[in-house]
Amino acid sequence: MPPRQKKPVDQVELFTASTAKEIQAILWKAADKLRGSMDAAQYKEFVLGLIFLKYISDAFDERREQLAKELADDGISEDRLAEFLEDQDEYTGHNVFWVPETARWSWIAANAKSKGVGLLLDEAMDVIMRANPSLTAVLPKIFNRDNVDQKRLAELVDLISDARFGGGSDDKPAQDVLGEVYEYFLGNFARAEGKRGGEFYTPSSVVRLIVEILEPYEGRVYDPACGSGGMFVQAGKFIEAHRGRGHKSDIAVYGQELNERTWRLAKMNLAIHGIDGDLSTRWGDTFDQDRHPDLKADFVMANPPFNIKDWARNENDPRWKYGVPPKGNANYAWLQHILSKLGERGTGGVVLANGSMSSQQSGEGEIRRAMVDADQVACMIALPSQLFRTTQIPACLWFLAKDKGPQGSKRPADRRGEILFIDARGMGEMVDRTERDLTAADLAKIAGTYHAWRGTQAAREEGLPYADEPGFCVSASLETVREHGYVLTPGRYVGAVDVEEEGAEAVSERIAKLTEELYELFDKSDDLAKTVRMQLEGLR
């Protein structure tokens, strides 16, 4: 009997991986071998396209098994079973993409070596798009090219085939694990690509904070610069966590994205997470051609690109209700566009550069003054530094509200004529040398403070009254804001943290301890210098 062929190291590792995080790390390592001569944007689309194909094929197989069981229970004979199993309506009617036979992962894996894996993958993407109109122009057909190492591509297909996406110690459905793999790859690509990657990816803790504050349980959710769709995915997770998986359809998702490749990633991302979103039939510039002109949203969540200098500016645009934004910066164009999209009781959360809170240039101060006087600003949050690996520009969150009154049956607190300021700059923990993350406790404190201030039903039920906290939060009147020249920087309003003065003895002890530590470091430095000199002498 011939010796059993050994599995590649990556496959051995994958067989022993029991958690989603382990699977993610191994797949990333394997996929990275395929980078070759592809540019970063193409490589990203390449790998995420494979993950998407695996997801829709798995979802199709799962529905097929469920359908076979239903048919058997109904007494359908074996000779008629195949006919029913190939009925496209039995899949699309259950929100499952129809996957033709030659696009099913099992068929591709079985025929990859004999027919050519790159060719099979391109053909699979093509037949899936033809069979599912909502995926038209979405899937990448870039696998059968000269710059793709077909041998390593076949190895990656084998690896993904063997991945245990369902079950394991995480005990998560395959859809959830694949969704996490997709998000993991998006995050890694953003880090690898630097600033360009950051255009399609918002740090997860920032997205979670916006969603936790807005609480989009139901209604129309809109993102005018949706990137890869992270805001929508987090909104879906929020609903699942609070109301169960079956309630994701309680929100209707609308988005727009300028970049063609990023638009494709977003369409795939929503599909993997089971979110039926309207991102229009193609990509486009929100300022030049609004793809949802008549939309009035209940929630707007956005992380638009900061400080855009070259944007499609039209001085006569009806969206500029509070003043025409300057040609050299689109920050106040984004804010006014979002306000124009909010319904009568809509709320919005927007990530912008810190300069937006205080800028007086090119009429921005006058626009901010008009928005404040119209009582459209609900809350301002100063974020910690280093949350965004892809930019060093300090960022903040604007929360806008069309109606800060009691709002009928929901009966939140009447906050007309007030703005909540939160200074969160001291929060977060460093996850590595360059990147900070807001912790679960940070998110709970910030969101809980907003809910207590707004007097939401959940805050009332939990008995969470609002109170100013020096150095962290304050509810300021519009009159106070006017006294500060309409500058909305939280640090101007929250004041300093109350601290007890240290006694002279305690201060002396601290100085003595720090001095001792410093002398120890000096000694270590001298020893290291001597060692280096000796090593250099030995090289002569």
Dist. CA 38–CA 196, nearest whole Å: 16
- The C-alpha torsion from 20 through 26 and 28 to 32, rounded to 10°, is -170
Write down how long the chain is. Answer: 540
Contact 350, 400 (CB under 8 A): yes
Q: Which of 174, 162, 138, 163 is nearest to 61 (CA)?
A: 174
Contact 109, 157 (CB under 8 A): yes
* Each residue's pLDDT expressed in tens, for the chain with a length of 540 residues: 444 444 554 554 544 444 667 778 777 877 777 777 677 667 888 888 888 998 899 889 989 999 999 988 888 887 788 888 999 999 998 888 999 999 999 999 999 888 899 999 999 999 999 999 989 999 999 999 988 888 888 888 888 887 666 544 455 666 677 788 888 888 888 777 765 544 557 888 999 999 999 999 999 999 999 998 999 999 999 998 888 777 888 999 999 999 998 899 899 999 888 898 999 999 999 999 999 999 999 999 999 998 999 999 999 999 999 999 999 999 999 999 999 999 999 999 999 999 999 999 999 999 999 999 999 999 999 999 988 876 777 899 999 999 999 976 667 999 999 999 999 999 999 988 878 999 999 999 999 999 999 999 888 888 889 999 999 999 999 999 999 999 999 999 998 765 444 444 455 556 766 776 677 777 777 777 777 777 777 766
Amino acid present at 21: K
pTM for the predicted model, two decimal places:
0.82
CATH number for domain 199-494, candidates 3.20.20.140, 3.30.565.10, 3.40.50.150, 2.130.10.10: 3.40.50.150
Domain ranges of the chain: 9-190, 199-494
> How confident is the model at residue 1, as a pLDDT?
40
**What CATH number has the domain spanning 9-190?**
1.20.1260.30
